[in-house]
Structure 1
Amino acid sequence: MNVDVVVVGGGIAGAACAYFLAQRGSVALLEGEDAFGYHATGRSAALFSEYFGSRPVRLLTAASRAFFEAPPGGFADAPLLSPRGVVALATESDVQTGRFDAALAAGRDARIAAFEITLDDARAMCPILAPHGYARALARPAVADIDVDALHQGFLRGVRARGGSTMRGEAVTAIRREAGVWHVVTAGGHAFATGRLVNAAGAWADDVAALAGAAPIGLMPKRRTAVLVDAAGDAHWRAALPTWPMVTNVADTFYFKPESGKLMVSPSDETPAPPCDAQPEELDVAIAVARLEAVTTLRVARVTHKWAGLRSVVADELPVLGEAPDAPGFFWAAALGGFGIQTAPAVGRAVAALVAGGALPDDVDETALSPAHVTKYASHDDDQGGI
């Protein structure tokens, strides 16, 4: 089958890229699993925050806000965002080392700036917080929950509505380039010929590059654990639970937030792992529970669900978007770390522009996100003797 673009990977990044590419030509979106978004997309904290990540990531997030707030007609049946907010706590050590001031400063360029609140304010917003252990707190008011399934399905429906194909259970098994054309073969025996190939395969993106003969970008998948817990508490706070903010700390060693009448908790672990169907380790589950109990007055009655996902990064922890310097027509949409969902609209729009031969939009940092930054960072490490 001849198509203008093949997109490998049916998670949120691949779906977003295919959605915007389908405005410009024919697209085939290939997913190796039997369900779209089975790995990272389906296991995220589902948060939209212009306060998190490096400046290029925050710019991608800010550039995605308009889409989230006003998606195209018929894209979703309900709003994609709902208010949540974040309270971030700081210990005396965080204050003395400047970590608190740095977190506050990083949040000042958001659409609604982060600001300091008192510890009493924090407890008024989340009454289960313990009255000890922390010295200062800040609020990130514009953080919102994302309806990830609605976003993902909206992209997939949009691809099909624009004449593109979305195929599950079609792992790519072979890629070759011949006379300027990429030939892609899947496990199901389907074959595609295309001038442009987008690699949005998440933790497997370096494997896809190897099939294509492109140099890897040094992806490092990292496992993150989350649990859903029932906690002993009175009827009053249970009634107020849906209105609570997400609570974290400026050292990024835990977070918890309301989820389906319970609390979702993570120890913010980042354990290196191979590309795989990530599963939670019991130690990480125990750490999540312990950190929740240490910062609140709660005692966990039971863990009702537990899961893990992979956050894939490169050495400088910046996304990699654009054409591979050593493989004409091969485009990266990878290394999105834990920010893939909240940046998906801007990532999809940017990659579609690059595939069409244009430049990244003005609200996206082209220099920081180009695949060239991987090479530059590797060269810098070599100069320093490596790690």
Structure 2
Amino acid sequence: MTGTVYDFAIVGAGMAGASLAAELAPFAKVLVLEAEDVPGYHSTGRSAAFWEECYGGPGVVPLTLASGRYLQENGFLRQRGALYVGRAQDRAQMDDFVETFNGTGVTIERLDSGGLKERVPAIRDEWCDAIWEPACADIDVAGLHQHYLKQLKVECADLVCRARAGSFSRTDGVWTIQTESGQEFRAANIVNAAGAWADNLAQLAGAKPIGITPYRRTVAQLRVSPEAPDDLPLVLDINGDFYFKSDGGRLWLSPHDEIPTQPCDAAPEEIDVALVIDRFQKVTNWHIEAVEHRWAGLRSFSPDRLPVYGADPQVDGFIWFAGQGGFGIQTAPAAARLGAQIILGSKPDGLTSGIDRAPYDPSRFFTS
């Protein structure tokens, strides 16, 4: 493989790198380099696994809605519904939320306390206001990731694991990539799909860091009494202090935390688990019998919290596909298709025709 010059060397084989590679591989010779033993070890493998129309804000909605059609048609979604909940003192935030998403194409409906109680019988009476999002669904994250890994294999892209990038050099329009284990690869272009490590990778290649920051997100799995119904909606606090969903009779509970951190193998902090349990007990009447499991993952945001797709304006042959926050999985189909079209200079198709590319261009971070 060392004698091959690839068109694109994609660094990172999580959902971002795998999906982009699958979209590029029919048109170019593609290499995917993954630092870990298996693809998807970090953010992809630790997702809360839902597709939610409002998640990420209005700037992400076009990617989410376009991806939803792909996910539904290919069998990766299971209907659940979502509720944003608030108390009487949260009415202004609820009103602002509705106004924010008005005209974006999402489907939301205001509910009174009766409509909320009907969907979440265990919720305490002071939680009396809700916004219902019926389209919210669970995502088969592992299935979607394998779908893209299979596609890139069918299209003869090369995937190499245990290949952490150590250095980059560029001569006569070709990058030489040296891994920390001593492997060497060459490619005309490097695609930065390194997630939490995106800015670090940029610096290795001599590019200016954009300011992509990793944040820790904690989730705990609870056994509660009575058992959580499997058809429970995803429930999110309008103030962003918690969310929970059922899974096989258990509850997945998160403090919706975003703790800035260095790129790492994220682990949960006991204080974060204790904090969200305290919040949860003030929201519902469920009795917590046990905390069965806890984990943490990373989500990485650019300074304006929108993803970054396209060529670096200062370093030839260096391409960004990063900063996809916590919405990288639910937007993967449209993001990968759009990213490939941007990289290849091709026109939009049925999946991406309604998406404006400009808000995601890396050049927005390089203007004076």
TM-score normalised by length of structure 2: 0.94
1:95-134 aligned at under 5 Å gives the runs: 95=91, 98-109=92-103, 111=105, 113-132=107-126, 134=127
1:94 aligned partner: 90
Letter matched to residue 276 of structure 2: A
Q: Distance in 2 between matches of 1:101 and 1:374?
A: 32
Equivalent in 328, 337, 342 of residue 330 of structure 2: 342
1:74 aligned partner: none
Letter matched to residue 85 of structure 1: G
Moved more, 361-370 or 123-132: 361-370
1:375 aligned partner: 366
1:179 aligned partner: 172
2:54 aligned partner: 51
For residues 197-250 of structure 1, the C-alpha deviation after alignment (integer angstroms, 9 at most, x for no partner) is 1100000011111111011111111111100000122xxxx3x71111011121
1:25 aligned partner: 28
Equivalent in 347, 360, 364 of residue 355 of structure 2: 364
1:183-262 aligned at under 5 Å gives the runs: 183-233=176-226, 238=227, 241-262=229-250
1:81 aligned partner: 77
Q: Distance in 2 between matches of 1:184 and 1:81?
A: 38
* Structure 1 vs Structure 2 CA RMSD: 1.6
Letter matched to residue 285 of structure 1: V
Q: Distance in 2 between matches of 1:21 and 1:293?
A: 48
2:145 aligned partner: 152
Superposition deviation, residue 189 in structure 1: 3.1
Superposition deviation, residue 349 in structure 1: 0.8
Q: Distance in 2 between matches of 1:102 and 1:109?
A: 13
2:295 aligned partner: 307
Moved more, 303-312 or 50-59: 50-59
Q: Distance in 2 between matches of 1:321 and 1:308?
A: 26
For residues 304-344 of structure 1, the C-alpha deviation after alignment (integer angstroms, 9 at most, x for no partner) is 01011111112211111110011122110111111100011
Q: Is the counterpart of residue 15 in structure 1 residue 15 in structure 2?
A: no
Q: Distance in 1 between matches of 2:347 and 2:171?
A: 26
Superposition deviation, residue 128 in structure 1: 1.2
Q: Distance in 1 between matches of 2:30 and 2:218?
A: 34
Superposition deviation, residue 111 in structure 1: 5.0
2:281 aligned partner: 293
Q: Distance in 2 between matches of 1:102 and 1:374?
A: 28
Superposition deviation, residue 152 in structure 1: 0.3
Letter matched to residue 267 of structure 1: P
Q: Distance in 2 between matches of 1:272 and 1:340?
A: 18
Letter matched to residue 80 of structure 1: F
TM-score normalised by length of structure 1: 0.90
Superposition deviation, residue 281 in structure 1: 0.6
Q: Is the counterpart of residue 318 in structure 1 residue 296 in structure 2?
A: no
Superposition deviation, residue 135 in structure 1: 3.8
Superposition deviation, residue 93 in structure 1: 2.6
Please list every run of 5 or more consecutive structure 1 residues that lacks an aligned counterpart in the other structure.
Answer: 72-78, 380-387
Superposition deviation, residue 91 in structure 1: 2.2
Aligned residue-pair number: 362
Displaced runs of 4+ in structure 1, greater than 6 A? none
User: Against the structure 1 CA distance between its residues 112 and 321, is the aligned structure 2 distance closer, same or farther, given a 3 Å change threshold?
Assistant: closer
Superposition deviation, residue 359 in structure 1: 5.9
Letter matched to residue 113 of structure 1: T
Kept in 2, the 8 Å contact 1:56–1:364? The answer is no
Letter matched to residue 70 of structure 2: F
Percent identical: 38
Q: Is the counterpart of residue 69 in structure 1 residue 67 in structure 2?
A: no
Q: Distance in 1 between matches of 2:302 and 2:24?
A: 25
Equivalent in 158, 161, 167 of residue 165 of structure 1: 158
